[in-house]
Structure 1
């Protein structure tokens, strides 16, 4: 199953915090977010990484902490749960 383009830009932390995600999937979303931040492949916060209001990152930039690039790290069951929560087909 492919990640729908309409939600591929969504940051994993936003999915975890703003939607009714099951606890186990919530933890996985945060682990993937943390891994992307440690690897330097997460959406940048701002010009120097300290202030998210200084620059707006390009949405859909293929950052590792966005749903699209991380999609293959989820099982088919987890993908189905995400799509159900997002009400996306």
Structure 2
């Protein structure tokens, strides 16, 4: 049975969500930028185009960071409420 205190910070979940959203936007912008560089590199030498084509693939894992942030936030919130705190008032 989970226990809660009224003093628990209510904005912590919102802060995690905001941070995840910022990471998502940043990852999308970086991925779009590297995709544009790869598209422009097609006009250049063959070797440069091949290496530039790897850029979007290398930046794709950045899109997983927001998912990891959300999971960590949920796990932390669950672990806070798993055990009854010592300072929890008795009924």
TM-score (norm 2): 0.28
Which has the larger share of helix? 2
**Higher RCO structure, 1 or 2 (CA under 8 Å, sep 6+):** 2
TM-score (norm 1): 0.28
Structure showing greater Rg: 2
